[in-house]
Structure 1
């Protein structure tokens, strides 16, 4: 495992300019999401009677907020905007992945990173695989969400409802994790011009090291996130803002490192 992580780290360092691109991508996405939520929530919350409201004032605020959400076109505009942002991300993410994985595959050519070339040459299979992964990931929701709704109205307490659903959603998370690992290898094979089924077979053969490396780097990410959150709580203010923005770079670095380590495992399969 140590050798794979070192090779993945070396690959990550060689793609330092790609790290900056991914950092800006995450930073801008977070900024636009924040501005979008702020534009919807702040006008509604500004009407809240914050000076010792009585029960009637709070109830009136709830009625007014419900009216704005359900009886005006606010909810339609919000959903359309949110849908457009999600669609944009679903188009940009596989494009960036195509460039990154193609660059990984040609890292031995000695021509530097080939991100843009990969985006032009390998985007089609990566987009198709990304959409297929998303479809398979969301497929259990067709059964899980109606079941959760039925149990919500039949269970006696919220706690009982939540604990009853935990095994199902844990299984859903596991399903998504295994899907992601399988489709990673399929995408690596696609950018190399190989059959995606060969990539899937490689993921099965290398399931153990692939899982260990992915979970290990995910643990690094969780530790870094916990440390950043703790520092933000202890030292609030400008330092917390700077640290929060810098953490986008850490996330980007860990994301590329994980993909590079997975690629090294694929190359050995």
Structure 2
């Protein structure tokens, strides 16, 4: 597709932003892994041996329930996790600002690394857009979550009954599609607002040309999944140093496809806005 190829050309000019995003995801994954590994490993070491009676597992669950209520370390880990989520929420619009600033023509950019310059120039409007995006995406949860909560026990009891499975999958798939639509519309709105073309006209452009936007997402989404499966298969077959290298390189490809998605959608928006 033309937009994907043009997005790749813009991506090559934003490679410093890709490297910064890669380092961010690598560090984030490392700290999250260390946090989870510290907690989960300690819990699994206390899990009773399968050869013991069911009473041992019951006692393990009772001990865990008491530990959740009285163990001070659990509260510390929960506070650390909440803090990491808060940091993630603050950094996400800043990273988006750096990526979008890199789309400005080079002659119009101010001095300094575009990624960090974008954080300074665009962080305020993008923080507002990010809060709006979270509110719109999480809003249906108040309606969908209770329905999924009711369906989940029936799904387990029925052993994967087709009607219940289709109903549950329909809710989840509908929510995913709704979330994508919100992100797509707000991405075009950000383009219009930041590049002085008009927020509402950019939203109309997004709606009118929704099919090319879906095509871009499918092409790059399938490519991302293919790379993930390829890395997983190679790591499974050839364990050792090669598997370690591929595991550490995976966030780099995630970063490439993430920025590629933005640059391709930007080219779609720019092309259609000029024709309007």
Structure-2-length-normalised TM-score: 0.89
Distance 1:106 1:226, change over 3 A: same
1:83-122 equivalences under 5 Å are 83-107=82-106, 109=108, 114-122=114-122
Any idea what the Cα deviations from partners look like across 1:123-180, whole Å, max 9, x if unmatched?
1111110111111111111011112223345664352454431111110011011111
1:127-142 equivalences under 5 Å are 127-142=127-142
Distance 1:267 1:213 in 2: 15
Distance 1:79 1:198, change over 3 A: farther
1:47-58 equivalences under 5 Å are 47-50=46-49, 52-58=51-57
> Which residue of the partner structure matches residue 18 of structure 2?
19
Distance 1:30 1:141, change over 3 A: same
1:166 is aligned to 2:169: yes
Distance 2:8 2:84 in 1: 32
For residue 99 of structure 1, report the CA deviation from its aligned partner. Answer: 1.4
> Which residue of the partner structure matches residue 148 of structure 2?
148
For residue 215 of structure 1, report the CA deviation from its aligned partner. Answer: 1.2
Any idea what the Cα deviations from partners look like across 1:13-55, whole Å, max 9, x if unmatched?
1111111101101101111110111122122112123474333
Structure-1-length-normalised TM-score: 0.91
- 5+ residue gaps, structure 1: none
Contact 1:103 1:113 in 2 (8 A): no
For residue 68 of structure 1, report the CA deviation from its aligned partner. Answer: 1.4
Match of 1:229 among 232, 235, 238: 232
> Which residue of the partner structure matches residue 78 of structure 2?
79
Distance 1:194 1:123, change over 3 A: farther
> Which residue of the partner structure matches residue 41 of structure 1?
40
For residue 201 of structure 1, report the CA deviation from its aligned partner. Answer: 1.5
Q: Secondary structure at the match of 2:34?
A: helix
Distance 1:154 1:244, change over 3 A: closer
Any idea what the Cα deviations from partners look like across 1:105-127, whole Å, max 9, x if unmatched?
23464879622221111111111
For residue 71 of structure 1, report the CA deviation from its aligned partner. Answer: 4.0
Distance 1:224 1:129, change over 3 A: same
The number of aligned residues is 268
For residue 102 of structure 1, report the CA deviation from its aligned partner. Answer: 1.4
Distance 1:153 1:261 in 2: 42
For residue 73 of structure 1, report the CA deviation from its aligned partner. Answer: 4.1
